[in-house]
A and B are shown apart, each in its own frame.
Chain A
Amino acid sequence: MTTTRSAGHLEVRGIAKRYDKVSAVDDVSFRMAPGEFLTLLGASGSGKTTTLKIIAGFEAPDSGEVWLGEQPITQLPAHRRNIGVVFQNYALFPHLTAAENIAFPLRVRGIGKAERAKRVRHALATVRLEGTGDRYPRQLSGGQQQRVALARALVFEPQVLLMDEPMGALDKRLREALQLEIMRIHRELGITICYVTHDQEEALVMSDRIAIYDDGRIRQVGTAEELYELPESVFVAEFMGESNVFHGTLDGKGKVGRLIAPRRPPITVSIDGPCPIGDGADAVVVVRPERIRVLRRRRGDSEPEPGRNILTGVVQDVIYLGSDRRYLVALPDGSTCQARVGAAHADPGIGRGDHVELTWDRADAILLEAPAAEREATS
């Protein structure tokens, strides 16, 4: 464990929170480096907002700690934490103008009038709202209101900024513009941001790292690439992008594992590399649709190229998406496999009813343990 913590270093240690008998957050831990942009991503009710409330000090955890820099802040009331918060519904004070809203944290801190005016001007410029300072929140559009809220949360120079679905109420175009704006501000100010969203794309665009929430727990934390390429569970794999999931039993021989799907006729999926899961165990293989190549089936035996896996099937549907084509292929065991082929490699001649070969590099197959619920069901 490193001992030096600098400003903006936020750490959450094993926090848990129950409402009545329902667990909202269960043993959640993560550390944020100063200046990092971490997104808590998950469905509604998965505990990400509760985590944020505990960090902000709006809710007390039943157990666990929150650290900011070298200070435990779990017991500190919200108004002494010096953490900026941006709310989904903006939470601007309706009886104050935009400038007065932004001046609020400065006024509370007893900062003089001249200094206040200077910093409010600066904050308005940071969010590109010069000249709207004397308007009331109701006279501003949703996007402008959220910018004011952002300026208000930044003007007192907090070490950490928390954002709770800040774009939930905005339309898509505004959302994209504001995303870029937040990223620019994050870059310019070097502030640590903890961001909550249920929008996967938003998380991918903005974050340094993403924490995936499920049912009050963090399933995995990592960069977007890590989560996509190396998911640690089927849940994460399916949450991040599209995937083909093959369930079956492992028969590990040497370095190549084979997963035999239980249905008839069985299909075999091979895996490359060391097999961490024991022989004969239930397992899952995940293959991303864009890793699969689709070829017209040749006559005679289909022998896979070395290092590649091969499945045969019949095309059910081809969806043209401009930049690529999506193939839905029925496999011999009755399941469906999805492939996505870029325009440069797609054979436009392949259509519905054609027999095709689906091949992918064994290294692209992700081997995972079968989800717990499934293991119980089959045993």
Chain B
Amino acid sequence: MNRFPWKGGLHSVVALIAIFLLLPTLVVIPLSFTEGTLLRWPPRGFSLRWYEILLTDQALRDATLKSLEVGFFTAVAATAIGTSTALGLTRGRFRGRQLTSSLVLSPIVVPTVITAIGTYFVFVRLGIVGTTAGLVLAHTVLALPLVIVSVTNSLRSFDRNLELAAASLGAGPLTTFFRVTLPLIAPGVAASALFAFITSWDEIVVALFITDPVVRTLPVVIFNQVRSGVDPTVAAAATLLILVTVIALGVALLARRRTMT
């Protein structure tokens, strides 16, 4: 290992960057506990009134439940499709594998606005704008690359001989997958499911295009409220959003660490 004489300085720089990255997010949390009626820094006093409103406000509650619903189904769909895609891309030997790999990962590179506009036009044709199924579909496309990358990593570090051994012992490809491969890459798959959930949970750009006043997710509602009148309920909703994200991320990281060891 290298010794850095300027290690202390390096640590400070890293700390500053971390603060810079986190501050906009963290500022929201104290704001949500303010007693005042304005979304203003610094917050005044301490109260849970905005959380009370959050829980009783019909629109916010509906949006939260909708976000959870869409997130859940996105996680399920993206994980199922992504895991099989990763399996095919790592194990399969076919023409155009490189091309397929680039194509399925392209949503990472394409600006979300472009994806959103494209999705909107297609969905209008199909008549699924403003439906839960449409939202799940769009979010699945966005979450897919994350799942594929994460599961591919798990499969790369997976000992292929175990699959060959299972085959020699009489297990067909499906049995081998469910009895050997899946149990061993399960932590990686679980982590990618949570990443897929998070992707959907805090997605706004595509959601703005393809939601309508009836089917709205939490980020969309927050965005609209901030635009109309600024009320600390938004901060409470945002804090909830952050909390769920942090929990999901934490579980995902724990799951990943279990794969490593």
Asked if B165 and A91 make an inter-chain contact with CB atoms under 8 angstroms apart, the answer reads yes
Q: Check: A79 CB closer than 8 A to any chain B CB.
A: yes
B172, closest chain A residue (CB): A79
A101-156, CB < 8 A from B: 104-105, 108-109, 152-153, 156
B169 in complex: contacting residue of A77, A89, A94, A104, CB < 8 Å: A104
B184, closest chain A residue (CB): A95
Interface size range on B against A = 10 to 19
Residues of chain A with a CB closer than 8 A to B179's CB: 104, 108
Q: How far, in whole Å, are A105 and B171 apart by their CA atoms in the complex?
A: 7
Contacts A91-B159, A93-B180, A95-B183; A85 near B165 (Cβ below 8 A): yes
Residues of chain A with a CB closer than 8 A to B17's CB: none
Q: How far, in whole Å, are A80 and B168 apart by their CA atoms in the complex?
A: 8
Q: How far, in whole Å, are A93 and B181 apart by their CA atoms in the complex?
A: 10
Contacts A95-B183, A95-B184; A104 near B166 (Cβ below 8 A): yes
Q: Check: B124 CB closer than 8 A to any chain A CB.
A: no
A56, closest chain B residue (CB): B168
Q: How far, in whole Å, are A325 and B165 apart by their CA atoms in the complex?
A: 47
B34-70, CB < 8 A from A: none
Q: How far, in whole Å, are A78 and B166 apart by their CA atoms in the complex?
A: 9
Q: How far, in whole Å, are A8 and B159 apart by their CA atoms in the complex?
A: 30
A94 in complex: contacting residue of B168, B173, B184, CB < 8 Å: B184
Q: Mark B158-171, 1 if CB is under 8 A from A, else 0.
A: 01011011111111
Q: How far, in whole Å, are A169 and B161 apart by their CA atoms in the complex?
A: 15
Q: How far, in whole Å, are A80 and B164 apart by their CA atoms in the complex?
A: 13
B161, closest chain A residue (CB): A91
Q: How far, in whole Å, are A89 and B179 apart by their CA atoms in the complex?
A: 20
B161 in complex: contacting residue of A89, A104, A152, A153, CB < 8 Å: A89
A59 to chain B, nearest CB (A): 10
Residues of chain B with a CB closer than 8 A to A61's CB: none
B87 to chain A, nearest CB (A): 17
Interface size in chain A (residues, C-beta < 8 A): 26
Contacts A91-B159, A95-B184; A78 near B175 (Cβ below 8 A): no
Contacts A95-B183, A95-B184, A108-B175; A78 near B167 (Cβ below 8 A): yes
Asked if B167 and A108 make an inter-chain contact with CB atoms under 8 angstroms apart, the answer reads no
Asked if B170 and A108 make an inter-chain contact with CB atoms under 8 angstroms apart, the answer reads yes
A109, closest chain B residue (CB): B170
Q: Check: A216 CB closer than 8 A to any chain B CB.
A: no
Q: Check: A257 CB closer than 8 A to any chain B CB.
A: no
B168, closest chain A residue (CB): A85
A87 in complex: contacting residue of B161, B176, B184, CB < 8 Å: B161
Asked if B166 and A56 make an inter-chain contact with CB atoms under 8 angstroms apart, the answer reads no
Asked if A105 and B183 make an inter-chain contact with CB atoms under 8 angstroms apart, the answer reads no
Asked if B169 and A108 make an inter-chain contact with CB atoms under 8 angstroms apart, the answer reads yes
B165, closest chain A residue (CB): A91
Asked if A77 and B167 make an inter-chain contact with CB atoms under 8 angstroms apart, the answer reads yes
A156 in complex: contacting residue of B167, B170, B173, B176, CB < 8 Å: B170
Residues of chain B with a CB closer than 8 A to A105's CB: 169-171
Asked if B170 and A82 make an inter-chain contact with CB atoms under 8 angstroms apart, the answer reads yes
Residues of chain B with a CB closer than 8 A to A80's CB: 170
B168 in complex: contacting residue of A78, A93, A95, CB < 8 Å: A78
Q: How far, in whole Å, are A109 and B169 apart by their CA atoms in the complex?
A: 9
Q: Check: A57 CB closer than 8 A to any chain B CB.
A: yes
Q: Check: A84 CB closer than 8 A to any chain B CB.
A: yes
Residues of chain A with a CB closer than 8 A to B175's CB: 108
Residues of chain B with a CB closer than 8 A to A82's CB: 170
B3 to chain A, nearest CB (A): 35
Q: How far, in whole Å, are A85 and B169 apart by their CA atoms in the complex?
A: 8
Q: How far, in whole Å, are A82 and B183 apart by their CA atoms in the complex?
A: 25
Asked if A79 and B184 make an inter-chain contact with CB atoms under 8 angstroms apart, the answer reads no
Q: Check: A286 CB closer than 8 A to any chain B CB.
A: no
A18 to chain B, nearest CB (A): 15
Q: How far, in whole Å, are A92 and B166 apart by their CA atoms in the complex?
A: 9
B255 to chain A, nearest CB (A): 15
Q: How far, in whole Å, are A58 and B163 apart by their CA atoms in the complex?
A: 10
Q: How far, in whole Å, are A95 and B162 apart by their CA atoms in the complex?
A: 11
Q: How far, in whole Å, are A110 and B59 apart by their CA atoms in the complex?
A: 54
Q: Check: A41 CB closer than 8 A to any chain B CB.
A: no
Asked if A79 and B170 make an inter-chain contact with CB atoms under 8 angstroms apart, the answer reads yes
Residues of chain B with a CB closer than 8 A to A79's CB: 166-173, 176
Q: Check: A227 CB closer than 8 A to any chain B CB.
A: no
Of residues B161, B172, B180, B184, which shows the largest number of chain A Cβ atoms within 10 Å of its Cβ?
A: B161
Q: How far, in whole Å, are A108 and B171 apart by their CA atoms in the complex?
A: 6
A264 to chain B, nearest CB (A): 57
Residues of chain B with a CB closer than 8 A to A93's CB: 162, 165-166, 180, 184
Contacts A104-B179, A108-B175; A91 near B170 (Cβ below 8 A): no
Residues of chain A with a CB closer than 8 A to B164's CB: 56, 58, 78, 85, 87, 91
B136-163, CB < 8 A from A: 159, 161-162
**7 nearest CB pairs, A to B:** A105-B169, A78-B167, A85-B168, A91-B165, A91-B161, A79-B167, A108-B170
Task: Knowing that A78-B164, A79-B168, A79-B176 touch, tell me 12 more A-B residue pairs with CB under 8 angstroms.
Answer: A56-B168, A57-B168, A78-B167, A79-B169, A85-B165, A87-B164, A91-B161, A91-B165, A95-B183, A105-B169, A108-B170, A156-B170
20 A-B pairs with C-beta separation under 8 A: A57-B168, A58-B167, A78-B168, A79-B166, A81-B168, A83-B168, A84-B169, A87-B164, A87-B165, A89-B161, A91-B159, A91-B161, A91-B164, A93-B162, A93-B166, A93-B184, A95-B183, A105-B169, A109-B170, A156-B169
